[in-house]
Structure 1
């Protein structure tokens, strides 16, 4: 029997026998759940499909039962309004937070903010405006932005200035709503303009807005620059969001070379209260792979 079905049937059975009030049933439901983690790890859709089924809402319920307190969903802006509302309700029902989603057409190879072209800026700002409405609907605070590729016909400092000016315009849209675009340096291709945490730190300082911060993805940064803990410290005052994945392979902790227990301990000791997005795949399939995922995070989270 699925874990969620067991919880549900237990509560219904107690209610039918007159052994518990609705409040007691809710308490019993929670007592069957795994304990919360020390940090706020956020899975994404599909990570627990073998235990919870294909429906994302059912997966969210299962995630809550396993001790997770947040989710993230890169493709949230591409979902229908009804889907967004159902996901938001599931999060509220489970006392969970919404992590990042990606600003649609916020920057990619065909729409690079480094070029300084008005048509690229217009596409980016339109995505920012639409992201505000989605954020309100799903009670989100953070939106991922990638500025796109290099414009190699321009000097690097001119490209940097173009990116800063575009992001200032985006921040003007987000700031009145208390929303934060988080810039993610990536390792996917050397054509991407934003690749290093100190580079992203410089850009955030140039934008100078509470609505423009760093998304520090330790998987990408391990590939591009290494020295994770020291670079986290260097850029700390501009970091608003963390994502992780082991390297090589981009799977759960303990499948690669990163000592995530030390990284998580460092974040905890620095007082990090934000979300740690589980931006990676699973090293094994089926229910066994999903259980391995949970236990990897339990081990990495065991730093107190």
Structure 2
């Protein structure tokens, strides 16, 4: 049956087709890749109640439920053997690796905006390490956050400093076909990078296929709203999406964002990349994990 007809003929809520047979005690696996229109990527820990604490076992469970990708912000902190083990599992299951975070050192205080060479050197060294990590897990995208606003400098000077640092990093990633995705955040007003048009400007300044936007709809709903319009404004520089509902940063249908409309919009625009599930669960236990899956089935049922 064609995917379009399957979705139209199925109510993806609490129906018998709403979860993989493995959740109902049936050992028959649902074929990965048939469940969702978009490529959603869970994180480590999202299905620990069903699959246990071993991330590899969780990845196998994710595949059983139809997920085709994962994310792991802390991948660079894992041992080489664990990175290789995760990479082999993804390869065996035909799954993709989403973003992991590049450590720039010192968190917000070690900011590109300040234009300090020592900050740039720490970041570029981490970029070199990230290339090796990406090869082990077959990753393409890596999250970068420039750090805090530097109050002693005019905003335009800070922007120039950020662009210059990212140009240096792009020179490292371009030969390997890797992409750092800049993520504007809402965690604190001290952060330099907070808005999608601001990030678009920086990507234009860097002018590299290795520097694009990570559009996290949770953060952007908090900082600027107007999600679909701003996605359109920044579309040519967006390489990656992440989601979480607001308020609360939990799964779709726990807050105010109409994710079915957002998902349909980016699908209709031709987005073929990963949508990272960077959020918590509104309920604990196995029931909370089933609720998580069903929320994505519902939000994804836009065809």
Structure 1 outlier segments of 4+, above 3 Å: 2-7, 28-31
Q: Deviations over 1:221-253 (max 9, x none)?
A: 000000000000000000000000000000000
SS of the equivalent of 1:276 reads strand
Is this contact kept in 1: 2:242–2:277, CA < 8 A?
yes
Larger mean Cα displacement after TM superposition, 102-111 or 133-142: 102-111
Shift of 1:34: 8.3
Within 5 Å, give how 1:77-116 maps onto structure 2.
Answer: 77-105=76-104, 108-116=107-115
> 2:38 aligned with 1:39, yes or no?
yes
> 2:65 aligned with 1:63, yes or no?
no
Q: Deviations over 1:137-177 (max 9, x none)?
A: 11000000000001100011000000000000000000000
Number of the residue aligned with 2:216 = 217
* Alpha carbons of structure 1 residues 255 and 5: separation in structure 2 relative to 1, 3 Å: closer
* Alpha carbons of structure 1 residues 182 and 114: separation in structure 2 relative to 1, 3 Å: same
Is this contact kept in 2: 1:185–1:200, CA < 8 A?
yes
- Mapped to 2, the partners of 1:187 and 1:194 lie a distance apart of 9
Q: How many residues matched? A: 283
Number of the residue aligned with 1:188 = 187
* Alpha carbons of structure 1 residues 106 and 276: separation in structure 2 relative to 1, 3 Å: farther
Q: Deviations over 1:110-138 (max 9, x none)?
A: 21000000000101101111000000111
Shift of 1:93: 1.2
Shift of 1:3: 3.2
Number of the residue aligned with 2:9 = none
CA RMSD of aligned residues (A): 1.7
Structure scoring higher RCO (CA < 8 A, sep ≥ 6) equals: 2
Shift of 1:4: 8.4
Is this contact kept in 1: 2:142–2:181, CA < 8 A?
yes
Structure 1: 5+ residue stretches without partners = 11-27
SS of the equivalent of 2:107 reads coil
Normalising by structure 2, report the TM-score.
Answer: 0.90
Greater C-alpha radius of gyration: 1
Q: Deviations over 1:27-65 (max 9, x none)?
A: x6455x683200000000000000001100000000000
> 2:296 aligned with 1:277, yes or no?
no
